[in-house]
């Protein structure tokens, strides 16, 4: 049942109440003739409401209040409960009203206070949830604290590859492959800016990428390509220097007094939907940026 909050969101209960009983009453309702006869035409026409109108085909329009703008107010909830209990005498008024009040409470605005490192990413998430869940989700995200990045070492391991230039070219190929694969879904990936990382964070979370695709694809292709893209970002945006290693997850980007491990970060990032939050690309970049000097 969808909470109707505007004229164009009327609910046809004749399709939603196959057992012949009215399960919900919204601001605007259209009861089909079959349901009207099942409940009782006289009872429906006597419903306490702003407007009760009978149509020639036997269906009935029921509008609880003059406007939907205050559908979650106390007065509107009382009217909603009163109408519902009238149509369903087997229901308890106080119980129905308590449930409606709980729905209204869930809609009370919560001010976003997201962790600054990941605020650009987290601010995109609430709109992906139903209106009834959105404020609760904002409160949860306000309390969320990303894990402090551990994908760094204080001193670089020496490069152990025979041909560093060839390895760096392979990193570039991996990064370009990621751009080619995702430039339609994430156009900003071509800009290679910090904002591109936030867009990638949101895309992977929205698609539930780690849960949707096979580990073979993620571990063999996506995570390495993402590590190369992330490392390249550290080089271009923060003046880092690649230190390639035979083992991909040991490959490093030296920035100031720290050495960062972008491939390791990408692997941890791609473990689950929750890990996309815990190990976001956005936060990793911001942490490296803070230690740039």
| Domain-wise residue ranges, the chain | 7-106, 110-145, 147-290
Question: Does pLDDT of 127 surpass 50?
Answer: yes
Distance from chain centroid for Cα 160: 42
pTM score, whole prediction: 0.71
The pLDDT tens digits of the residues spanning 12-63 come to: 343 345 567 898 899 999 999 999 999 999 999 999 999 999 999 999 999 9
The pLDDT tens digits of the residues spanning 203-229 come to: 999 999 999 999 999 999 999 999 999
- The stretch 100-117 carries a mean pLDDT of 86
The pLDDT tens digits of the residues spanning 80-91 come to: 999 999 999 999
**What confidence score (pLDDT) does residue 164 get?**
95
Beta-ladder partners of 61: 30, 53
pLDDT-derived band at 281, boundaries 50, 70, 90: very high
């Amino acid at each position: 049942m969808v909470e109707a909050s505007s004229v164009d969101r009327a609910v046809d209960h004749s399709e939603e109440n196959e057992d012949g009983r009215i399960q919900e009453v919204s601001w605007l309702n259209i009861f089909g003739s079959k349901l009207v006869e099942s409940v009782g035409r006289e009872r429906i026409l006597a419903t306490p409401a702003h407007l009760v109108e009978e149509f020639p085909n036997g269906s009935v329009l029921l509008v609880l209040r003059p406007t939907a703008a205050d559908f979650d107010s106390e007065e509107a909830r009382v009217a909603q409960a009163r109408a519902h209990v009238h149509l369903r005498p087997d229901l308890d008024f106080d119980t129905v009203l308590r449930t409606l009040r709980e729905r209204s409470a869930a809609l009370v605005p919560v001010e976003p206070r997201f962790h600054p490192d990941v605020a650009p990413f987290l601010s995109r998430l609430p709109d992906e949830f139903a209106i009834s869940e959105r404020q609760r989700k904002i409160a949860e995200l306000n309390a969320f604290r990303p894990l402090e990045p551990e994908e760094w070492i204080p001193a670089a391991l020496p490069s152990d590859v025979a041909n560093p230039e060839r390895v760096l070219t392979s990193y570039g190929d991996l990064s370009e492959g990621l751009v080619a694969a995702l430039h339609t879904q994430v156009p900003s990936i071509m800009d290679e800016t910090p904002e591109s990382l936030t867009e990638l964070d949101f895309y992977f979370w929205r698609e539930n990428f780690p849960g949707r695709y096979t580990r073979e694809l993620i571990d063999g292709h996506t995570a390495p390509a993402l590590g190369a893209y992330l490392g390249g970002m550290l080089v271009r945006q923060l003046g880092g220097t690649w230190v390639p290693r035979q083992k991909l997850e040991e490959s490093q980007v030296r920035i100031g007094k720290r050495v960062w491990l972008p491939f390791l970060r990408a692997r941890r990032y791609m473990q689950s939907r929750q890990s996309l939050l815990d190990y976001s690309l956005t936060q990793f970049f911001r942490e490296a940026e803070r230690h740039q000097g």
